[in-house]
Chain A
Amino acid sequence: MLTRLVQSEGIWLFTRSPAAMLAAVVTIVIVTGALFAPWIAPTDPYDLSSFSLIDGLLPPAWEEGADPRFLLGTDDQGRDLLSSILYGARLSLGIAAVAMAVALVLGVSLGLAAGYLGGRFDAVVMRIADVQLALPAILTALLIDGISRGILPAALHDDLRLAVITLAIALSLWVNFARTARASVFVERNKDYVSAAIMMGQHPVRIMLRHILPNIVGPLLVIATVDLASAILLEATLSFLGVGLPADSPSLGTLIRIGMQYLLSGEWWILWIPTVFLVVLVVAINLLGDFLRDLFNPSLR
């Protein structure tokens, strides 16, 4: 059913929305660039032998005094900025995608179970969700990061940085998924086909996954898109605050944090190119999210 909807109406609407098409192109270009960074990027920013201090602080290719080898210029170490950005986007997108997927699985299973089982389990899950909804995601993520620093020994914590950040982001985003899943269970549970399935003695898990879940693929897709953008912003913010990824494996947020040191100097590209890149990426994903929301909610059209 979903594929038919997307094939007919979705594609037609898509071709009539220039903003959505532009956003899709931008997203695809950036995601491809990030995914294939090791093959596309001119140099490997993690390989210390691939750059030298002699090339430090060169401006982008269109400025005066540039070196054509470095399209977007270099940082103070002589690292190619384009390569740093591609590798950084790879990390940022990877963390955000995994965090979003974890949040989706966790949120949907809790939401389905809460809606189906009801009673005490439902009450507990929803209370936790309420509290989390009142706490902004950034605060939750910071708290989880802080607690993990306390529990894990320092050396181990550095090794697990990536996992901790991903988990912190996932745990601050699951609520929306859970609430949507739960609400849909309440709508579907009393319909005849669900009663029929129950009477046929099907297992509750099968009913939830086979009968109820397909009804909410649309809204879940919208939330997943919007949450992907939030996850990218969260990771960037954590890294910018210095509690995210360390400077030797920089994500987009870390690059901006490093670039802040050049705010007062003439080397504008070190700060502004990663910043613009991040904002363009998030705007594009949010535009796609808006398009999907309109698509699945015809009353808003």
Chain B
Amino acid sequence: MARFILKRLVQSIFVMLAVAFLAFSLFRFVGDPISQMTGVETSVEDQERLREELGLNDPFVVQFIRFTGDILRGDFGYSFRTREPIDEMLLTRLPATLELGTVALMISLVAGIPAGVYTALRPRGIFSQSILIGTLIGVSIPTFVIGILLIFLFGVQLGWLPTYGRGGTVEIGWWRSSFLTVEGWRSLVLPALTLGLFQLTLTMRLVRAQMMEVMRTDHIRFAIARGVPWRSIRYRHALANTMIPVITIIGLQFGGVIAFSIVTESVFQWPGMGLLFLESIRFVDIPVMSVYLVVIAFFFVLINLLVDLLYFAIDPRLRVRESA
């Protein structure tokens, strides 16, 4: 167990180093930082002095180590565009994206898992068939169109829900939360649905495939032959084995949620990290882009590490193999 955890930890650290290297190369070689920071009126001597002061003339390795050290200490530097410190920009926007992503993931799991199990157990039913056709159309509709549709339906036509920004938020320390006010929850509904619907089709298809696979395995056939009641076969024997990969699904979906939150945040003007990243691309704000990359990769690695550990805790077969 300890060896397994240690191995995964070391792997994760190497992945993070690789990402940091990528982000550093982006920051250092895409465009000249000095020409971004100074105007035309700055003399060449001043530019050279600034270059020396910022350590841009140091050897590559020294610069990379300094960059990594700064990031580890939480010092992310300054944005080229707004001149604000990036760590502050991130801290104000991180809660918005995390809350949106969490609710979207919940929608995807709470609706997707039962739908997947149902369509696997009754593949020929009319209801299952319509769900499956629905997911095919769902995959074909881009996220931004789903967002526009929801805004049009619930915001413009019915006027039930707000379609813009986060509404009421409450600050707990630096964390600005939508979860504590009614207005905040109302603002959350449409963006979270938009983000969750696409993931939902994914969850459903994966759970369905897994469940159908499990139903064909020997231990289920033996259970049928033994005369175990259907209810028990389906919801105890089969479901338990279906649920193990669901943990992996959560890990996989995290990437999708992060990526599509860029689109969703743009449609709903949700002040999160995705919108920040989009702005940084439009204005070629390289430091913000590279920090975004590092932060997203960190969450990626962290979640995958947790998924692996959970796997280990839940699936007894893995533990047996490890100790043998």
- A residues neighboring B (CB under 8 Å): 134-139, 142-143, 145-147, 149-151, 229, 233, 236-237, 240-243, 256, 260, 263-264, 271, 275, 278-279, 282-283, 286-287, 290
Contact of A279 among B26, B145, B258, B278 (CB under 8 A): B145
Indicate if the CB atoms of A149 and B300 lie closer than 8 Å. Answer: no
B71 at the interface (CB under 8 A from A): no
B280 at the interface (CB under 8 A from A): yes
Contact of B144 among A139, A147, A240 (CB under 8 A): A240
Indicate if the CB atoms of B282 and A138 lie closer than 8 Å. Answer: no
Indicate if the CB atoms of A256 and B263 lie closer than 8 Å. Answer: no
Indicate if the CB atoms of A286 and B278 lie closer than 8 Å. Answer: no
Indicate if the CB atoms of B282 and A147 lie closer than 8 Å. Answer: no
Indicate if the CB atoms of A287 and B142 lie closer than 8 Å. Answer: no
Number of interface residues of B (CB under 8 A): 34
B117 at the interface (CB under 8 A from A): no
10 new A-B pairs (CB below 8 Å) besides A136-B258, A241-B263, A282-B142?
A134-B300, A138-B259, A233-B140, A240-B142, A241-B262, A241-B278, A260-B148, A278-B145, A282-B141, A287-B136
- CB contact under 8 A between A143 and B262, given known A264-B156, A290-B136: no
- Of A240, A243, A287, chain B has the most CB atoms within 10 Å of the CB of A240
Over the window 30-53 of chain B, the binary record of Cβ atoms lying under 8 Å from chain A Cβ atoms (1 yes, 0 no) is 110000000000000000000000
User: Contacts of A136 on B, CB cut-off 8 Å?
Assistant: 255-256, 258-260
Indicate if the CB atoms of A150 and B31 lie closer than 8 Å. Answer: yes
- Chain A residue at minimum C-beta to C-beta distance from B19: A131
| CB-contacts of B102-145 with A (<8 A) | 136-137, 139-145
User: Contacts of A139 on B, CB cut-off 8 Å?
Assistant: 255, 258-259, 262
Measured in the bound complex, the distance between the Cα atoms of B263 and A139 in whole Å is: 10
Indicate if the CB atoms of B255 and A256 lie closer than 8 Å. Answer: no
B286 at the interface (CB under 8 A from A): yes
Contact of B156 among A134, A237, A263, A287 (CB under 8 A): A263
B76 at the interface (CB under 8 A from A): no
- Chain B residue at minimum C-beta to C-beta distance from A287: B136
Contact of B140 among A142, A149, A150, A282 (CB under 8 A): A282
Could you pull out 12 A-B pairs where Cβ atoms are within 8 angstroms? A135-B255, A136-B258, A139-B259, A233-B142, A237-B263, A240-B142, A241-B144, A242-B278, A243-B278, A243-B282, A278-B142, A286-B136
Indicate if the CB atoms of A145 and B281 lie closer than 8 Å. Answer: yes
Indicate if the CB atoms of B262 and A138 lie closer than 8 Å. Answer: yes
Measured in the bound complex, the distance between the Cα atoms of B263 and A256 in whole Å is: 14
- CB contact under 8 A between A241 and B136, given known A138-B259, A150-B31, A236-B142: no
Indicate if the CB atoms of B152 and A147 lie closer than 8 Å. Answer: no
5 cross-chain pairs, A with B, having the tightest CB-CB distances, nearest first: A136-B259, A150-B30, A146-B281, A150-B31, A283-B140
- Of B144, B156, B286, chain A has the most CB atoms within 10 Å of the CB of B144
- Chain A residue at minimum C-beta to C-beta distance from B25: A147
Indicate if the CB atoms of A143 and B282 lie closer than 8 Å. Answer: no
User: Contacts of B278 on A, CB cut-off 8 Å?
Assistant: 142, 241-243
- Chain B residue at minimum C-beta to C-beta distance from A229: B140
B293 at the interface (CB under 8 A from A): yes
User: Contacts of A233 on B, CB cut-off 8 Å?
Assistant: 140, 142
User: Contacts of A229 on B, CB cut-off 8 Å?
Assistant: 140
- Chain B residue at minimum C-beta to C-beta distance from A157: B284
- CB contact under 8 A between A138 and B30, given known A243-B282, A271-B148: no
B266 at the interface (CB under 8 A from A): yes
Measured in the bound complex, the distance between the Cα atoms of B31 and A138 in whole Å is: 23
